[in-house]
Amino acid sequence: MKFTLVIHSAPYQSASADTALRFARALLASGHELYRVFFYRDGVHNASALASPPRDEQSVPLAWQLLAQEHQLDLVVCISAAVRRGVLDENEAKRYEKPAANLAPGFELSGLGQLSEALIQSDRVITFGGRG
């Protein structure tokens, strides 16, 4: 079965991003395909290279990066939500005349079209951290 995950929560805002990460690991271990992970709203903070949790806590952004490397995952960050929250790649940093980029390697900025395409291509879409 082909899954897409949509993450709405920042990595340390609630347990949602960590739960999504554990779910992703479990579905990959079960032989399912993870078509795309889409970070939206405050979930874009999962893609920040500047997150620095205490040493005794898991770095959720780093864990996403490692999982993506191991399984060649598509980690897509909503560009409008990211720019609004200060998560920028090199192009957006230049465009908005900011001194630096902070998008972690392995993540890519893109639009909602990537989410729409993932909805079409996937058998199941699971959302973590959605607002009620």
pLDDT digits (tens, 9 = 90+) for 86-108: 999 999 999 999 999 999 999 99
111 vs 56: CA distance, rounded Å:
35
DSSP secondary structure string for all residues of 16-29: HHHHHHHHHHHHHH
Q: What residues act catalytically?
A: 78
Q: Which domains does the chain have, with CATH numbers?
A: 2-128 (3.40.1260.10)
pLDDT digits (tens, 9 = 90+) for 20-36: 999 999 999 999 999 99
